[in-house]
Amino acid sequence: MSSVQVSKPTGPLEIVEKNIPELGARQGYGTRKSSRSKKSKAIAARAEVTLAITFIVSAFIVSALPSSLLPIHYQIPKAMAQVEDNRESAWLSTTHNYHTSNSNITTSTNSSSANIPAAAIGPIIPPKGYLVKEIRDGIYWLTDGAYQTMFMVTDKGVVAVDAPPSIGKNYLKAIAEVTNKPVTYVIYSHAHLDHIGAADIFPKNATYIAQDEVAASLQEAKASAANASMVPPIPTVTFSKNYTLIVGGQTLQLDYYGVNHLPGNIFIYTPKQKTLMLVDVIWPGWVPFPYLGLAQDVAGFIKAHDIALNNYNFDTFIGGHQTRLGTRNDVVVAREFVSDLEKAAAQASKQVSLGEFIKQVGGTSKANLFLSTNKYSDAVDQRCTQIMLPKWENRLGGAQQFMSSHCYTMADALRIDPTVALTQNSTS
């Protein structure tokens, strides 16, 4: 990818760059598209952010988020089948019909909301539609129940991280509740529009900071979008591996170790407040969204858990979704879940024989090969799910709904990604 030309600030030395060795960088791993009918709607073909910009309005799928905040499956419109962000962007519309009280969690007769583990339940969202609370020392957490982010108040303005459209202008209201200072810096965690799509609400003269891959994606989108005004502001400052923002008595550390959820997805860390933000990798109290949160690099996704635990001294964690703050222990639990998933997918793959399904369908003609592979993959997913659920269905929210998709993604990675396969084999 060609380098992105950006302007660097020329004012007081409030921004300090640092370079440290890159750790855990991985090559891109794309989730394999399935030919199975029951999963075809959930595994749409990936495309560039450009296409997401063109079709983002039609991607908003009307669905209601239960008061329990448990994710619900959504159907992908055929017209959107090639949009990269369509599955995640479906969540943008959930808060339109969101009922802010979750007081019926324990009394609901709907099984989708009655069996949520206590660890998955967060605070009630006020009637105003959002909740903002100070973590400590000028770092604030903001959530609408489906998405969450953070912002930092400094002596010289506010540093805003991301801008989920589901929160939208409530972001500005939340900031106004705690300070009258303007937003002077905006940090992008990554390029997905469900996290940064409302960034144009911030002042035009703010400094926008992102990893190189994010800036390149947005520039490409703007160059070819049908409506360029829908593209979030292009970052004015970019970095390759590491960047430290020091402004108004506050410090924010930005680090990139390679692809995990998406190229350009960074670790955002506040050393003083011991708060770490990593989006779309860890969901405190919940399993990831389907297919390991649509991880483009499964090896990088796994490694991101270790990087968080080994490289950062944090006690508060923000994952970008759902309705509660996380802790270091939530990351430990998430790593345990992923480790169990690796082992379960490997075990299931060994226990299920492709040859048996080839015999069942009558040989290895092209048509039969696809059918036997379909049946084999379904059987591996089912066996893996059977191994995982007894331990996790009452421990993490969404396990029953999404476990099969996680088994599919991990088993697929173990079959074709040497980094995942060799790492698992060496530790099992």
Separation CA 256–CA 52 (nearest Å): 24
Mean predicted confidence (pLDDT) in 151-163: 98
The number of angstroms, rounded, from the C-alpha of 150 to the middle of its chain's C-alpha atoms is 15
- Predicted pLDDT of residue 337: 98
Q: pTM of the entire structure?
A: 0.75
Pair 94, 65: CB distance under 8 Å: yes
User: Amino acid identity of 309?
Assistant: L
76 pLDDT higher than 90: no
Mean predicted confidence (pLDDT) in 293-319: 96
Strand ranges in 166-282 using DSSP code E only, listed in sequence order: 183-187, 207-211, 237-239, 242-247, 250-255, 267-270, 275-277
- Predicted pLDDT of residue 115: 77
376 pLDDT higher than 70: yes
What stretches of 66-152 show up as alpha helix (H) in DSSP?
86-89, 111-114
pLDDT classification of 50: cutoffs 50, 70, 90: very low
Opening angle at CA 39, ends 403 and 324, nearest 5:
40
Q: What is the pLDDT of residues 94-105, one digit of tens each?
A: 333 333 333 333
Q: What is the pLDDT of residues 257-302, one digit of tens each?
A: 999 999 999 999 999 999 999 999 999 999 999 999 999 999 999 9
| Tally of CB atoms within 10 A around 336 | 14
Mean predicted confidence (pLDDT) in 332-350: 96
179 pLDDT higher than 90: yes
**Residues facing 245 on adjacent strands:** 15, 252
- Predicted pLDDT of residue 365: 60
What stretches of 312-416 show up as alpha helix (H) in DSSP?
328-351, 354-361, 366-392, 399-416
Cβ burial of 203 (10 Å; 0-12, 13-18, 19+) is exposed
Domain boundaries defined on the chain: 37-113, 339-427
Q: What is the pLDDT of residues 412-425, one digit of tens each?
A: 999 888 777 666 54
343 pLDDT higher than 50: yes
- Predicted pLDDT of residue 363: 60
CB-side exposure of 179: number of CA atoms within 13 Å?
A: 21
Q: Which range (41-55, 142-156, 235-249) has the least confidence?
A: 41-55
- Name the strand (E) or helix (H) holding 153: strand 148-154
Q: How far apart are the first and last CA of the chain?
A: 37
Mean predicted confidence (pLDDT) in 113-128: 86
71 pLDDT higher than 90: no
